[in-house]
Amino acid sequence: AAVIGGSLGGMQAMRWALEFPDRIDHAIVIASAMKLSAQNIAFNEMARNAIKSDPDFQNGNFVEKNTQPRNGLALARMIGHVTYLSDEQMGSKFGRSISAGSFQQGQYNPVEFEVESYLRHQGDAFSGSFDANSYLLMTRVLDYFDLAREYDDDPVKAFSVAECDFLIISFLSDWRFSSTRSEEIVSALIDAKKNVSYAAIQSNLGHDAFLLKNENYEKTLATYMNRILTKNRRERQTDTEKGKTS
């Protein structure tokens, strides 16, 4: 079997490779890390505090109180969304374009930049469709994940348990889960003497790139999966020929 995941899903793919070595033949890990950096944890804490500081959060009992912490959840989404985008992408998409108001010399300017209205839209849309407690728990899962914790904090020792081949993919403009984090995974896999392929994809879409169309991204996945299919066909053909001769 093959398991594939991006971001938190990539963490889970690595975990399954260790927990089910007899069932996983291939693990494809995209835009992920063996554990979060302090900066990543800090962003998650900012988002959690935004939610918990909303009076409508009601200490997590907002459903019973018939309220929704929409303002806090919207702010949490705005914080998170900025980290999923690259500076280049935001610059090309919004720049300093103004959506409302005008600059007036010597006065407070009621100017709204397009990037501001975009973030508010993202926050409002998200807050109407996502559960606040789920957001808190999901960010904690990210924070607490540490692949090597149970292996004396040694990632090489951790990956030594796996028996599958790995494909690791990163995106060069992703600063939330940077290529450096993926290269740490690759280095540990090599030291653990595992078969690993690595691709660092050029993209200006930041962390969100793993969810979006990209020709090189698609080719990388297709090439790897086709290689698996070709290998499986050859193995089946060999087994069939052995059966005939016996």
Residues 78-120: tens digit of each pLDDT: 999 999 999 999 999 999 998 887 777 766 767 789 999 999 9
Of the chain, the end-to-end C-alpha distance in Å amounts to 28
Mean pLDDT score of the chain? 94
Q: Which domains does the chain have, with CATH numbers?
A: 2-35+145-245 (3.40.50.1820), 39-142 (1.10.1740.110)
Distances (CA, A) of 200 to 36, 186, 219, 225: 19, 11, 13, 17
Model pLDDT for residues 1-37, shown as the tens digit of each residue: 899 999 999 999 999 999 999 999 999 999 999 999 9
- Please give the positions annotated as active site: 7, 174, 207
Confidence of residue 238 (pLDDT cuts 50, 70, 90): confident
The pLDDT value given to residue 109: 66
Q: What is the mean pLDDT of residues 189-201?
A: 98
Q: What tokens does 72 get?
A: 């806090």
Token pair for 202? 């050029």
If we measure between CA atoms, which residue out of 173, 228, 176, 174 comes closest to residue 197?
Answer: 228
Residue type (1 letter), 59: N
For residue 218, what is the enclosing H or E element? helix 215-245
What size, in residues, is the chain?
A: 246
Say if residue 232's pLDDT is above 90: no
Whether pLDDT at 245 is above 80: no
Residue 72 has pLDDT above 80, yes or no: yes
Taking each helix axis from N to C end, the angle separating 70-84 and 38-52, rounded to the nearest 10 degrees, works out to: 160
Q: Does residue 199 have a pLDDT over 90?
A: yes
pLDDT in tens, 46-69: 999 999 999 999 999 999 999 999
- pTM score above 0.85: yes
For 115, 168, 213, 238, the CA distances from 67, given in Å and listed in that order, are 29, 42, 38, 63
6 within 8 A of 211, measured Cβ to Cβ = yes
Structure tokens at 227: 């290689």
